[in-house]
Amino acid sequence: MKILVIEDEKKIASFIRKGLAAAGFIVEVSHRGDDGFTLATTRPYDALVLDIMLPGRDGLSILRNLRERKIGVPIILLTARGELNERLEGLNLGADDYLTKPFFIEELIARLHVVTRRAAGAHQSILATADLTMNLLTREVLRAGRKIELTVREFALLESLMRSPGRVLTRAQICEQVWDYNFDPGTNLVEVYIQRLRKKVDEGASRKLIETIRGVGYRITPPP
């Protein structure tokens, strides 16, 4: 799992990094709130370890803004002992858990496993980008509350795009994922289905989600 640690106290940040790395996590560390917020909004992480007291932008502000942007990454807050109001405010803003300093690294590791398992269970059946949602169990697709009827192949194509918002899929990758056969460079099958999908998903919407990257492929545009 890839973890972002936003902690300004360098000794604590180093302690967390070493402990998580020894447990097999991939760890990135930021010592400033502004820098950490930029990383959290531009790179994918499995969880965040977020100190409340930070220079530049405090932890509760980061938490609030991430949740306002519908970024549901699991977040564990680090708080000073006795700061009950901050812990309660953090949980109300959408934090998944908290730890008071000082703490044992084993407890942080255990809590990371719990919040990431919980998040995987809650979100594995629902894909969402901006106001577009896809229920993998009921196969219902909604755009701003409007139901979209898709064929089996259209659903599979949209699912492939929505599983990695912002990532460009080539025509060859789409063919392999949606049609399960080797790519024929002479076919325009992908283009035809992209056009159909655009008509159903983007037509009439102020913001277009299905984007063509000329000469490369297609992607679902992630939220700004």
What's the CA gap between 110 and 146, in Å, rounded? 40
Q: Hey, what domains does the chain have and what are their CATH numbers?
A: 2-123 (3.40.50.2300), 126-220 (1.10.10.10)
Contact between 210 and 198 (Cβ < 8 Å): yes
Instruction: Express each pLDDT in 62-104 by its tens digit.
Output: 999 999 988 889 999 998 866 678 888 888 889 999 998 889 9
- The dihedral over CA atoms of 149, 152, 157, 160, expressed in degrees to the nearest 10, equals 100
What's the CA gap between 188 and 168, in Å, rounded? 18
Instruction: Express each pLDDT in 97-117 by its tens digit.
Output: 999 888 999 999 988 988 887
Cis bond before residue 165 (omega within 30° of 0) = no
What's the CA gap between 99 and 87, in Å, rounded? 9
Q: How far apart are the first and last CA of the chain?
A: 25
Specify the amino acid at residue 96.
D
Cis bond before residue 102 (omega within 30° of 0) = yes
Instruction: Express each pLDDT in 2-49 by its tens digit.
Output: 899 999 999 999 999 999 998 888 899 999 999 999 999 988 898 999
The pLDDT of residue 182 is above 60: no
